[in-house]
Structure 1
Amino acid sequence: MKKASKLCMAFYALMIFLNLLPLIPTSLKGIMGLFFITISAVRIGYRDGLITATLWIVLGYINVVFNINVDYRYTMTNMFLGTGLYFFIAHYLGKTTEELKKKNVQLKNEIKTGEKIQTDLKNKVTVIQSLMDTIPSPIFFKDLDCLYIGCNQAYEEAIGVKEKDIIGKSPYDIYDVELADIYNKIDHELLANADVQKLVYETVVTYADGSVRNIILNKGIFTDERGKPMGIVGVFTDITDKKEIEILKQDVVEKKRIIDEILEQEKIKTEFFSNISHELRTPLNVLLGSIQLLERYSEDDIYGSSQGKVMRNVSIMKQNGYRMLRLVNNLIDITKMDASAFEIHLRNYDVVSIVEEIALSVSSYMESKGLQLVFDTEVEEKIIACDEEKIERIMLNLLSNAVKFTPTGGTVFVGIYQQEDSLLIKVEDDGIGIPSEKQEEIFKRFCQIKDLFSRQHEGSGIGLNIVKALVEMHEGTISVESQINKGTTFTIQLPIKTVEEEAAACKSLSKQDLVEKISVEFSDIYTTSSLSIENKALEKYID
């Protein structure tokens, strides 16, 4: 401050000295006045400029008054003209200088404010970047041209590229073309659709370490304070571990299901073998009882007088022999099926004739059981490729089931129909029926519907499984419809096609063969009462 005051005093002293110096011409002093006023107004300020102008004018009048080397007329003229000029220059330059100083101060303040804002912004960016780097999920930013403008440390580690190396790059510079096409398409769709602010989709990404990760990619638009879109932000959410856990859970559930199925199969097998034991024991006991009675007849030598009783025992032995044969045949067949050694031999037969002959052959047997058999066909003849023996077995099994589960006075219906390229064979009864929840299970091996089986309704639980297998070997299907206490309908659908051979075969079953097959398939149909009566008669005779 003192230094400035000294300079100011020296400035004014110099100005006074030069103005009062006689050696300097008046014209030069006028120019010098302009110089000093300009310097004062520009360097010091508006007020000092006016003071300098006033002082210079006063010094001019002093020169005139004291006649210091001046031309009075010329000097007075210049003084009047100069006074206005001096004050104008002092006023203009002073005001202008002060305005410039104010603007300069304002500019300096704005620069300081801008520097502070920039520093704060830089600090905020540093904080945000630090926070982003602590986030384990990879994050990236793109501009409106879909070029990268930044990312966090997790993204750097994921793709194996530093942030400075991805800025200004596109997805094609980082990912393979196929994945880059997907990303680029989604980015442009997001930017083009103003109604969509966020997109979420699942993708697979190969990380820099070679690991393949399942990713949920969230992409959204980020905007400025006015809501104008600035670019795209994307966040990776790694769900690989979650997926693996889900797979493990599914695997555990699947293994548990398999274990439960195995346990259920083991339970079914245990029940099956228990039932098989009963199925074998029952006819064996009957056979042994009949043999013992025959031995007694032989010992007592009463064959001649008890011929009727002997024949009844022979019939019982034969029926139970057939029953055991049927069971053994079924066991052998399922063993062959498991070993893929069971074969069918297709030839061209009139399947209508086969089914009709079987139905008519068992009609008398059904009548003896108090049942009525109704046969109807819409097709008089249909040659198809089939195995005659297996068709016979299928029909006899279904008919024996119908007889077994239909009460006295009931009706069994057999019908044949053509449906486009298929032949339908229906076996329908009005028996006890099958619960709806059990209808799919009856075709499973070893399956028996417990509520349906009693001493009067016995079976091994493998007959329908074999029937289904035989139908499928003919490239057909079998289905069931049933209602409790209303009856059951089995529908077989066989394709109408033939095989190449010299001539279509249409043979008739020999009576003896058919009788034996019927006897085998129907061997387990008998009543407890009939056996009881027979046994009582035998026991009475022995006693």
Structure 2
Amino acid sequence: MNNREYTIEDLEELLDNIPYEVWMKDKEGRYKYVNKYFSQKIGCSKKKIIGKTDLDIELGKSPVVNEEKVYYEIYNKDIKREKEIILGSILKEMNGEKNIQDAIIENLIHIADKDGEKNYKKYDSKILFELKKKIKADDIAIYLYNRHSNNMSLYIQEGSTKGIFTTKYSFNVFGQFLLNSKLNKIVRNFNGCQTHYLYPIRAKDTLHGMIEIYYKNDDSKHYIGESIIKQISILLGVSLENRTIAKHLKTELIKREDVQKKLEMVIDTVIDIYALIKKKNNMLQWIDINKKCTEIIEWTDKDLIDRSPLELVHADDKEDLKFAVENNKEYKNFVCRILCKSGNYKILSINWSNISNGNIIITGKDITNERELLKDKENLQQAVEVESLKTEFFANLSHEFKTPLNIILSAVQVILSCINNNLESLSLDKLLKYLKGIEQNSYRLLKLANNMIDITKIDGGFYEVEMDNHNIVEVIENIVQSVAEYMNNNKRNITFDTMEEEIITACDPDKIERIILNLLSNSMKFTSVNGKIYVDMDITKDCKNVIIKVRNDGPAISIEDSKKIFNRFTQSENLLTRSVEGSGIGLALVKSLVELHNGKIYVNTHINNGTEFCIELPIRKIMNSTMSPVLNKSINSKVQKYTIEFSDIYTLNQ
């Protein structure tokens, strides 16, 4: 004991100057020792406390300071002596730490609040106030570091000393040291009497600011709570870091909300169609749809909840979209018809794109009016073309009527003139020639009248076909054989060939004859002297149709003309430049007669020489009907019919 370097007085002075309440009691609870801090706390001198119990000095059960509860952290220790046990206790007041902790918790809680930024300063001031009180500093301040300007600016301060803190620290050598140093405290002395303690505020090695503490006199006379200051520095660093992150997040959220509002405005005002659709197990469900789209299709959001998008698609357009759904395909400018609430269909041009999580974005526009305008434009153009064709047709028809009439009248005038001047001036050969001309042109007028009457009946729906089961091969072969002599007399060669000897199908032999004679007449017109005409028959690979081909070795028909020669009032040659006669309604009549048999006619443009007309008729039979024989008409009847059909063929090309 004699080797101690300190005295009992040294220990008591130390205990009197620490911010803890220290006391010792005997086993009866009488105080043996109290330090200065304890006596000041309860308002009694040491002499009045020593030797007395708590009851003797009337201590309250829950000490209150300024109507505020006081919280303690207590350390108890039994000190054993030879004859007695002394109870020792150290009480650490926790109000400051608790208030600081509560303020920091409030600070962190309100970081994400909408008005949290307005309250930061209030919570930080509370922390600073409690810290100043805890460490008994004269003045204390927090500075915030600005990375852009590279300086420290005064944020908040607590204390009454004027001008003790500078408004801004420029980052000179000291600032760079503070920025880069790992030290937790820097001590600065001003004018030899002012001591400032600087504690950097960091988070993740990033400097956010500093705490500056000021004592008027030498700091050795004051208690400095190093640990709590460092803890607060760390917590403030985390808080400031979180504030920065929260601020950036709020800024990004504001930008995102702004962009989203602009996007929604664009979607609602500029884009006709926008919809977000969820795909699950190949089933589609509406997620979002813009206002303009609901206005176009007339369905509300509530109407669409129980309706799949595919339910609204027209049946003819649905399969393509089903394929896209099942195979994750995408479409651009896909035109489809969508059912509206009114029961009408709108025509939409849509883009179908797959995105993440099985979602599909649909954008597009309403092209209903555009299609209607286009259709009106096409109808107008067609009407103009028809009117032009009608004008040309009637000019042609006028020519077709006037030409045979002029020939007939001229021949009659010559004959009458000869009769009036005695028949001796007109030889028998010439008379026969004139009579032949009158006959042929009379047939020509009859053919023209028949065609006009028939096509008018077809347009009016009054034209009838008498369908019955016939061997169409025999029908066609008889027609070809009947005109063979006529062809030979006119120096044309005709050949018939068939791959099938018998094809029984329902048809009207008279209308078939009309069709074939018209095509043969047309072939004769465009076949040169000693040219060849071929009539071939076969059936399609699927055995569903019979094919009749009429081909000549004359000039070929262009692809462009092949698309329009079956139109009403159309010829492949102009009225003023054409080399053969014709009204321009013969092929239109043929097409109508073929269609009355549910068939089709077209020009084969893939052959190298000549022109080939192809007729396809369905092979079908009428139930409960026996096969009818081909009627044997009289020779005179056939000759008259063929003469009528070939009446517009002159010997000019012979």
In the superposition, the TM-score normalised over structure 1's length comes to 0.64
Take 2:613 and 2:44, find their aligned partners in 1: how far apart are those partners? 134
Determine if the alignment matches structure 1 residue 18 to structure 2 residue 142.
no
Measured in 2, the distance between the counterparts of 1:205 and 1:528 equals 63
Gaps of 5+ in 1: 1-6, 21-25, 54-74, 142-150, 159-172, 183-195, 222-228, 531-543
Please report how far the alpha carbon of residue 473 of structure 1 lies from its aligned counterpart in structure 2 after TM superposition. 1.5
Helix, strand or coil for the counterpart of 1:374? strand
Report the counterpart of residue 402 of structure 2 in structure 1.
281
How much has 1:406 moved relative to structure 2?
Answer: 1.1
Opposite residue 646 of structure 2, the aligned amino acid is F
Q: Does 1:443 align with 2:566?
A: yes
Contact in 2 for aligned 1:283/1:324 (Cα 8 Å)? yes
- Show the counterpart of 1:523: 647
- Match of 1:441, SS? coil
- Opposite residue 311 of structure 1, the aligned amino acid is L
Alpha-carbon contact 1:429-1:488 (below 8 Å) kept: yes
Distance in 2 between residues matched to 1:180 and 1:520, nearest whole Å: 64
In the other structure, the counterpart of 1:291 is 412
**Alpha-carbon spacing, 1:34–1:256, altered in 2? closer, same or farther (3 Å):** same
Secondary structure in structure 1 of the residue aligned to 2:644: helix
Q: Tell me how far apart the structure 1 counterparts of residues 340 and 256 of structure 2 sit (CA, whole Å).
A: 25
Structure 2 counterpart of 1:339, from 460, 463, 488: 460
Pairing partner for 2:592 from 469, 472, 483: 469
Contact 1:414 1:428 in 2 (8 A): yes
Is the partner of 1:292 in helix, strand or coil? helix
Distance 1:178 1:388, change over 3 A: same
**1:514 counterpart = 2:638:** yes
Separation in 1, partners of 2:432, 2:338: 81
For the Cα contact (< 8 Å) 2:111–2:117, is it kept in 1?
A: no
* 1:113-163 Cα distance to aligned partner (Å, 9 max, x none): 42243244699699799967895579999xxxxxxxxx99x99xx9xxxxx
Aligned equivalent of 2:97, options 102, 106, 109: 102
Alpha-carbon offset, residue 475 of structure 1? 2.5
Q: Residues 247 and 105 (structure 1 numbering): CA distance in 2 closer, same or farther, change over 3 Å?
A: same
- 1:525 CA displacement: 1.0
Structure 2 equivalent of residue 496 of structure 1: 619
Is 1:411–1:429's contact at 8 Å kept on the other side of the alignment? yes
- Once the two structures are overlaid, the 10-residue window that deviates more, 376-385 or 316-325, is 376-385
Contact 1:433 1:483 in 2 (8 A): no
Partners of 2:468 and 2:627 within 8 A in 1 = no
Q: Determine helix, strand or coil for the equivalent of 1:458.
A: coil
1:78-106 Cα distance to aligned partner (Å, 9 max, x none):
7xx64xx44xx22xx32xx35x7435413
Residue 412 of structure 1, aligned match among 509, 533, 542: 533
Which secondary structure state, in structure 2, belongs to the residue aligned with residue 385 of structure 1?
strand
- What is the aligned counterpart of 1:111 among 100, 106, 111? 106
CA shift in 2, pair 1:341/1:293, >3 Å: same
Deviation of 1:9 after TM superposition, in Å, equals: 8.2
Note the C-alpha offset of 1:107: 3.2
What letter matches 1:477 in structure 2?
K
| Count of matched residue positions in the alignment of Structure 1 and Structure 2 | 421
Aligned equivalents of 1:206, 1:375: Cα separation in 2 = 58
Q: How far apart are the structure 1 equivalents of 2:445 and 2:559?
A: 31
Distance 2:398 2:492 in 1: 31
Distance 2:439 2:630 in 1: 31
Deviation, structure 1 residue 393: 0.9
Shift of 1:286: 0.8
Structure 2 partner of 1:370? 491
One-letter code of the match for 1:456? S
Kept in 1: contact 2:504–2:621 (CA 8 A)? yes
Contact 1:434 1:484 (C-alpha < 8 Å) held by counterparts: no
Cα separation, 1, equivalents of 2:360 and 2:579:
72
Letter in 2 for 1:476: G
How far, CA to CA, are the matches of 1:373 and 1:204 in structure 2? 56
Does the CA contact (< 8 Å) of 1:480 and 1:488 recur in 2?
Answer: yes
Choose between structure 1 and 2 for higher RCO, CA contacts under 8 A separated by at least 6 residues.
1
The whole-number CA distance in structure 2 between the counterparts of 1:412 and 1:205 is 54
Deviations 1:22-41 (A, max 9, x none): xxxx4x459979989x979x
* Cα distance change, pair 129–266 in 1 and its aligned pair in 2 (3 A): same
CA offsets 1:355-376 (integer angstroms, 9 cap, x no match): 2222122222222332211122
Q: What residue identity is the alignment partner of 2:421?
A: D
Classify 1:258/1:122 alpha carbon distance in 2 versus 1 (closer, same or farther; 3 Å).
farther
Structure 1 match to 2:505: 384
Structure 2: distance between partners of 1:361 and 1:219: 68
What is residue 610 of structure 2 aligned with on the other side? 487
Cα offsets for 1:446-469 (capped at 9, x unmatched): 111126984531211111111111
Distance 1:288-1:217 versus aligned 2 partners, 3 A rule: closer
3-state SS of paired residue (1:443): coil
Change (3 A) 1:485 1:327: farther
d(CA) in 2 for partners of 1:205, 1:366: 60
The structure whose residues are more often strand, as a share, is 2
Q: Which moved more, 1:362-371 or 1:500-509?
A: 500-509
Conservation of the 8 A alpha-carbon contact between 2:470 and 2:627: no
Give the Cα separation in 1 of the matches to 2:306 and 2:391.
Answer: 57
Comparing 130-139 with 287-296, greater Cα deviation is found at 130-139
Whether the 8 Å CA contact 2:533–2:550 is kept in 1: the answer is: yes
Equivalent position amino acid for 1:404 in 2: K
**Kept in 1: contact 2:568–2:584 (CA 8 A):** yes
Larger helix proportion of the pair: 1
User: Any idea what SS the aligned residue of 1:444 has?
Assistant: coil
1:423 to 542, 546, 550: 546
Alpha carbons 1:431, 1:485 under 8 Å: kept: no
Unaligned runs of at least 5 residues, structure 2: 1-36, 119-249, 269-273, 277-286, 295-300, 311-327
Counterpart mapping for 1:201-240 below 5 A: none
Q: Establish whether residue 396 from structure 1 lines up as the match of residue 517 from structure 2.
A: yes
